[in-house]
Amino acid sequence: MQTVTNGWWRWRLVHALGRNPLVRTSDRIEVTIAAMAIAAVLVAIPVAAAMATAIHDERGHAYAAQAERHLQVHATVTQASATLPRTNVSVVEATWSLGGVERVGRFQWDQPVRAGQSIEIVVDENGERVVPLDPWWRAGLDGTIAAITFWLAVAAAAAGCVAVSRPCLRRVRYAAWDRDIASLADDGGTADRHP
């Protein structure tokens, strides 16, 4: 089956580029659209790779900058609520110190804890609790997802162009063949009556 498909496209390409009088302009346009779609998909590969690299570098620098400004400190839970229904989330009150300054905060914690337990939290340079950092590997994942999404969008657009153009060109081709066959039938009937 693979050989037939490859042979069919090779035949279409050779005939569309050749000087065969049976090949219509619509055939040449169809092959050109398909070739442009394939070229767009192939060109999108290095563009997507460059996009992935750029996003990885940008996010990697952002995550590194966040990591420099944020610190992990030990906090002691002073009070904890019961976990919320159907989750492990509880509201805790904890104390921690940074630079000799004692701090108290109330926040949600995604694991059950009890009073007196020590937990690790992330704080900024002022000692205020902040959302934990994204892991370092997230930069690579962000770049990969963006690149794959871009490439799939280009491939879908190219496939859509081919899918939309083929039926239109097929109708044009069949109409041209019908006109030519009708003109042959008319000429043949006239030639028989008038030798």
Q: Does any domain span residue 96?
A: yes
Number of domain units in the chain? 2
- Is 87 found in the same domain as 43? no
Output the pLDDT for position 188.
56
Each residue of 65-91: pLDDT tens digit?
A: 777 777 778 888 887 777 667 777 778
Specify whether 81 is located in the same domain as 171. Answer: no
Using CA atoms of 164, 168, 173, 174 in order, give the dihedral in degrees to the nearest 10: 120
Residue 10, pLDDT > 70, answer no
Q: Is 47 in contact with 150 (CB distance < 8 Å)?
A: yes
Domain enclosing residue 86, as ranges: 71-123
Same domain, 151 and 169: yes
User: For the segment 123-152, what is each residue's pLDDT rounded down to a tens digit?
Assistant: 887 778 887 767 778 889 999 999 999 999
Indicate the helix (H) or strand (E) that contains 158. Answer: helix 138-193
Ramachandran area for residue 149 (φ above 0: left; ψ -120 to 50: alpha; else beta): alpha
- The answer to whether position 192 is within a domain reads no
Task: Please give the average per-residue pLDDT across 165-188, as a whole number.
Answer: 82
Residues 55 and 6 in one domain: yes
Per residue, the 3-state secondary structure of 74-143, as one string, reads: EEEEEEECCCCCCCCCEEEEEEEEECCEEEEEEEEECCCCCCCCEEEEEECCCCCECCCCCCCCHHHHHH
Q: Tell me, yes or no, whether 128 lies in a domain.
A: no
pTM: 0.61
Q: Tell me: do 90 and 36 sit in the same domain.
A: no
Burial degree of 61 (CB within 10 A; 0-12, 13-18, 19+)? exposed
Q: Do 56 and 78 belong together in one domain?
A: no
